[in-house]
Amino acid sequence: MDIVMELTSWIRSKSIVCAVIFSVITVLWWFHYKWNRRDINRFAAKLKGPPSYPIIGSGLEFIGTSQQVIENLIKLGDKYGPEPFKIWMGTSFSIFIINPEDLQIILNSSKALQKGSFYKFLKNLIGEGLLSAPVDKWRVHRRLISPVFNANLLNQFLPVFHQKNKVLIEKLSKEIDKTQPFDLWEYIGPTTLDTICQNMMGYNLETQLSDKFEFFDTILKASELDVMRIFKPWLHPNIIFTIYRKLTGLQNIYKTLNKLPNKVIKEKKEIYIQRKITSKTNGLDDSTYGDIKKPSKGFLDTLLELNEVGANLTDIEVRDEVVTMMSAGSDTSAVTICFCLLLLAIQPDIQDKVYDEIYSIMGDGDESITIEDTNKLVYLEQVIKETLRLFPVAPMFLRVLQDDVKIVSCPDVVPKGTTCILAPLYTHHIPELYPNPWSFKPENFNPENVEKRHKYSFIPFSSGPRNCLGSKYAMLSMKIMISTFLQNFSVYTDTKISDIKFKLDLLMRSANGYPVTIRRRDRRPTYKRN
């Protein structure tokens, strides 16, 4: 009995000692943590923003669906903007940057090239491609990939644009004169995915001709899952996120997501190797192809070729860039085209004006549109830009400061370690820049109106060194698809702009789709082709 009591006493004393040691270590760690973050905490205390609580930060603002999250974000901008305001995502401090002058400083600063730490949550989705790569990797990959998007190569993409848009028009024909609305996304999304796969990967995916969109559907689910994780601090720990995926039946989503890119890369590698063997057998190189047409090099061909000359990209790095290109490259264009056609259906007077411009350039024939034709579509470009202003598909970009940075709107420097949330969603709706900012007014992009505004008041493709590499490709693809669509169909809807609600994943989308009806276009013999 005495032995038991002594043992119990000894265990109790040891437990007390361990508890004291743990408490001391915890207190020391807390003081160390607070000391290291003293500049951030001092700066944060001077900014307005939503309430913050221990551990979860401002996470209570983002409870709910992706639609509720984006609605709350819009309310925060209305309440606290356009001046910088703070938000705590868990224990991570962030500041919203809205004013164009501040955006210009951050987007062009060498101290703000690093993407925010929350991009680690997108690693399962897009890996470390150009969109999310750390600065050192981004510098290398950007230099390697940039040549793919030069003006000469854009010309080579035209036949694929024409081919895929022809399929689109044929598929849409079954919707002519129906009274029940259909969702534009069901047609536009597969078309942009097929187009970019053919142009950039040299791979004929044929999503348009299939009823199964596994990659397409999976990337939407994975995007929403990963982005929602950013706004819900309780899902930040990997173990909790893994459990959450199992509970929601999404535990295999990333494996499914990578099936198609892995297949594309495998097949292209085999073709690339066979092409090298054929070239060597026939004595052909870059300068001697004789009567054989040398195949154009797309994005994936370029990556494989660069590896042959010492780029040393791993299979995972190649896959990350392919997934980034397939997802971001197709989705951004598809969402914008759907929004644009929906807006033109809402405002038929603007639709008529766009069609008149197209007719004045293309006439009523079936000639394929050229690069020169797209350059003449000035009003259509204004319409597309106004769509991107009103509904920026990438509503926010994140950058983490590697050193202190001074911006115009804050008397103090923004301290090192701060995550800057650069928000086109807010900037594009500043009333002083865009009167009645939730109205659809293409004249916002008349040359005289553009001249009045700060250059960084419109940043749909980001800006600065880490801007979107494919912005010219995107604008070209959108002009061609929208003009082809309107040459063949007039579009109608009962939806109003005020009816449009958003949901947020990697991009900002319409929560209720893009419901329209179409009729065969009566081509007007009013103008002659220029």
Polymer length of the chain: 530
CA nearest neighbour of 115 among 104, 102, 129: 129
Cα–Cα dist 22/156, whole Å: 66
Vertex 150: Cα angle to 144 and 153 (nearest 5): 110
The answer to whether 205 and 351 have CB atoms below 8 angstroms apart is: no
For residue 468, say whether it is annotated as part of any ligand binding site.
yes
CA-based radius of gyration for the chain: 26
Cα of first residue to Cα of last residue in the chain, in angstroms, is 107
H or E element: which one contains 164? Answer: helix 158-172
CA nearest neighbour of 430 among 409, 458, 406: 458
The answer to whether 86 and 47 have CB atoms below 8 angstroms apart is: yes
Sequence-ordered alpha helix ranges (H) in 296-400: 299-308, 315-346, 348-362, 371-376, 378-390
H or E element: which one contains 34? Answer: helix 2-36
Cα–Cα dist 510/513, whole Å: 5
Please state, in angstroms and as integers, the Cα–Cα distance from residue 326 to each residue in 165, 181, 208, 334, 479, following that order.
18, 28, 15, 12, 19
**524: which residues sit within 8 A by CB, 6+ positions away?**
356, 359, 364
Compute φ and ψ for 448, nearest 5 degrees: -70, -35
Written as six digits, the tokens of 260 are: 């198609």
**475: which residues sit within 8 A by CB, 6+ positions away?**
381, 384
Compute φ and ψ for 294, nearest 5 degrees: -70, 125
Give the residue ranges of the annotated binding site: 468
Give the residue ranges of the annotated binding site for heme: 468
